[in-house]
Structure 1
Amino acid sequence: MKLAEALVERKAAQTKIGELNERLQRIILVQEGEQPAEQPTTLLQELDDVVHRLEALIVAINRTNVQVQLPDGRSIMAAIAQRDVVRMQIGVLETLIRSASSPQFRTRGSEIKFVVTLDIAQLHRERDQLARAYRELDTAIQAVNWSADLVE
């Protein structure tokens, strides 16, 4: 199995756990004398099976992420950590840009005037550079995901 296939299966297992939880919530209480639409014990067993498969997938994915390297020599784990940090940096810059771009209203000339303390054009350039780096890094990770075998 390829790493990307395991990632897809992990996502499906997480979704399935959410669905089973919702189904269990709907049948946990029934009116006295009524039968639930589904058997809770059957759903709990299915939940247990999916949880165990998810755990195995997570272990294998993490093991693979530590052992498999990108063409530049970094492990997938290190590349994912860098990608996550770049995403956070982009978020901070976007928030700063939005904050600086929001209009400051004054009703009279004597009220306090606010001025931007950073170069907004520079923030845009930095954000764009980080966005490009994020895309390139994400593409490299995805390429390895589809070529690397899952370490079980």
Structure 2
Amino acid sequence: MTMKVAAALRLKNDYNLQLIALKHRIMSNLVVEEGQEPDESPKKLIALYHQVSQNYQALVTKINLHNSSTTVEYPSYHDNYKSGHLIGDLFSNDLPPDLVSKEKYIVQALVERESLKAEIQTFKSILDRSKVSRSSTRDILKVAVLDVQQLQKKIDTMAKFLRIMDAKIQEHNWLQDLKEI
């Protein structure tokens, strides 16, 4: 049976939610008043938990093997910012033709996406901390050490690369079949 990667990712999430629910059901049926029976058999629930866990493990293995052997082409922030490439309008998905795009394994793109998200959050924190205000003229004047406008432009640029990268990964997930192992 073949399925699209996006469907497999959804199934992975469903398995994960099912495992959490089964754990709660097992835990709530472990102890009963003397002479009473549990609402559900913990033994049967544990057997079901093991089965779902095995399905989850097999699916995640398939997804990971697929992601480490399949590529996607996208413009990486880290491949472009050093060479001074500007990416045009920050709030559109249009890209200049001279932007460097490389084909990378999906697993590399996923790691880069998470790293870029973390960088954006870090720079947003730096930006928030760099904003200065004075409640009265008697307060000591504090000034930002960094150029706040330049920092905001960097965040906007990183966010655009993130949007484009994420769109390429999502497109891949909806178009590609998950490889059989």
Report the TM-score when normalising by structure 2: 0.76
For 2:5 and 2:103, the matched residues in 1 are separated by 18
Alpha-carbon separation, structure 1, partners of 2:131 and 2:27: 45
- Structure 1 distance, partners of 2:141, 2:38, is 64
1:66-94 residue CA offsets vs partner (Å, 9 max, x unmatched):
11111342111111111111101111011
Match of 1:96 among 121, 126, 129: 126
Picking from 21, 25, 49, the partner of 1:47 is: 49
Hey, what does 2:9 align to over in structure 1?
7
Q: Please give the secondary structure, in 2, of the residue aligned with 1:37.
A: coil
The letter of the residue matching 1:136 is I
SS of 2:72's equivalent? coil
Find runs of 4+ consecutive structure 1 residues off by over 6 angstroms.
none
1:8-87 aligned at under 5 Å gives the runs 8-71=10-73, 72-87=102-117
Deviations 1:87-125 (A, max 9, x none): 01111011112222364667x93x655332111111111
CA RMSD between the two structures: 1.8
Distance 1:38 1:144 in 2: 42
Q: Residue 80 of structure 1: SS of its match in structure 2?
A: helix
Amino acid at match of 1:147: L
If each structure's helix is expressed as a fraction of its own residues, which one has the higher value? 1
Task: Quote the Cα distance in structure 2 between the aligned partners of 1:93 and 1:53.
Answer: 40
C-alpha distance in 1 between matches for 2:22 and 2:133: 47
Instruction: Identify the range of structure 1 (130-139 vs 140-149) with the bigger mean alpha-carbon deviation.
Output: 140-149
Equivalent residue, structure 2, for 1:149: 177
The one of 122, 126, 133 aligned to 2:161 = 133
Structure 2, unpaired ranges of 5+:
74-101
1:13–1:50 CA contact under 8 A, matched in 2: yes
CA distance in 1, matches of 2:146, 2:28: 53
User: Is this contact kept in 1: 2:132–2:144, CA < 8 A?
Assistant: no
For 2:64, the aligned partner's letter is: N
Alignment CA distance shift 1:148-1:114 (3 Å): same
TM-score, normalised via structure 1 length: 0.90
Corresponding residue SS for 2:54: helix
Task: Give the counterpart letter for 1:73 in structure 2.
Answer: E
- In the alignment, the residues of structure 2 paired with residue 41 and residue 113 of structure 1 have an alpha-carbon distance, to the nearest angstrom, of 68
